[in-house]
Amino acid sequence: MSHNHKKIKYAKGGKKAFKEFRKHQHDDKTSEERFVTDMTAALENFNDSQASAELDKKIKFPFRLAMWDLGHCDPKKCSGRKLVRFGLVQELSLHQHFGGLVLSPIGVNCISPSDRSLIVNHGLCVVDCSWAKIDQTPFGKMKCHHLRLLPYLVAANPINYGRPWKLSCAEAYAAALYIVGMKEFGEVLLSKFKWGGSFYTMNKELLDRYAACESSADVIKVQNEYLEVRDVSDSNTDQPADRDPFDINSDEEFYNPNRPLNSQNDDGDDDEDDDDDEKLTCGKDKLILDDYDKDDDVSSDNDSDDDDLEPNCKKTSNTKK
């Protein structure tokens, strides 16, 4: 008895390449399924151990969080370093390779929901460096390929409360995770800071719109539409069109719920911010500097101190000088 078998024509690379392709398809599917299972277990572990700092340190995310720390900022005030102390973020050496998504000042594309699988399989990383030392920052020695920037968002940290673009490292992680559909893990990170819960609340509308996009171009479109509406709204008031409603150096009063209403230290806050160290911030096109208070007294031995702050993201002009 003869059997007629249709001969399969394989793509360039032959049968071996085809088998490798099918294997990767299967691995991607099982990886996502395994991730969902691990994610549920990690979140349940977190909810059961919120009251115990010792147990919190045992929580393991089903994906990798990392940070290149160039040592440009005070480690006592760095939210990324605080997350390292909690065991949630891994600190990388300069030459250490990272194959996941990296929030970097030299990134070109904006993060989008399409980056979810990259984070699930390979992790999320930030580069902690100072814009004042950008020319001396050895980006070429950082072995990574998937660089991204964050879109327009407003900071909730105490020092830069209400300022557009100026996020701390913890806020940058949380924003990225929200946009790719993993905001629960962002909530875990933000829970380590007293002000953390305000970040998602303040940016909920924008984060929801970013998370509903499909690509980096879609995220940029949503951002630009939002900024255009904001500019039109500003032009319809007695204020200048380029006025920043969150500018704490303006004469207008505003209330920061992360600080006491009648704090004895309020008198000098603006002067202190003007003398702060400059840190990176990220946005649609480039990263710009953030300011941090040199004179803030923060104990490095107290992990419950929530004023640890550092770099983030801000949009600048595309014009080349």
Percentages of the chain per state (helix, strand, coil), in multiples of 5: 40, 10, 50
- Above pLDDT 90, what percent of the chain? 27
CA dist 285 to 126, 176, 179, 221, Å? 17, 16, 18, 13
What residues have CB less than 8 Å from 147, skipping those under 6 apart?
A: 102, 103, 104, 106, 107, 108, 109
Residue-range definition of the domain harbouring residue 194: 63-232+278-292
Supply the pLDDT for residue 118: 92
Rounded to a whole number, what is the distance in angstroms from the first to the last CA of the chain?
78
Supply the pLDDT for residue 169: 87
- Which of the pair, 211 or 12, is modelled with greater confidence? 211
Please write the tens of the pLDDT for every residue from 136-188. 665 665 666 778 899 999 999 887 899 898 888 899 999 999 999 999 999 99
Looking at this protein, which amino acid is placed at residue 184? Answer: E
Q: Whole-model pTM above 0.75?
A: no
Asked whether residue 85 is assigned to any structural domain, the reply reads: yes
Supply the pLDDT for residue 213: 97
Q: What is the mean pLDDT of residues 78-102?
A: 85
* Token pair 């953030």 in the structure block, residue: 290
Rounded-to-integer distance, Cα 159 and Cα 172, Å: 15
- Which of the pair, 134 or 296, is modelled with greater confidence? 134
Please write the tens of the pLDDT for every residue from 20-61. 555 554 455 455 566 566 556 655 655 555 544 444 455 678
Rounded-to-integer distance, Cα 228 and Cα 207, Å: 17
**Structural domain count of the chain:** 1
165 is known to lie in a ligand binding site: yes
Contact 128, 72 (CB under 8 A): yes
Asked whether residue 56 is assigned to any structural domain, the reply reads: no
Asked whether residue 111 is assigned to any structural domain, the reply reads: yes
Asked whether residue 205 is assigned to any structural domain, the reply reads: yes
Asked whether residue 170 is assigned to any structural domain, the reply reads: yes
216 is known to lie in a ligand binding site: no
Asked whether residue 155 is assigned to any structural domain, the reply reads: yes
Rounded-to-integer distance, Cα 187 and Cα 282, Å: 21
Asked whether residue 75 is assigned to any structural domain, the reply reads: yes
- Which of the pair, 20 or 105, is modelled with greater confidence? 105
Asked whether residue 311 is assigned to any structural domain, the reply reads: no
Supply the pLDDT for residue 205: 96
Please state which of the ranges 18-27, 103-112, 128-137, 249-258 shows the lowest mean pLDDT: 249-258
**pLDDT at residue 269 tops 70:** no
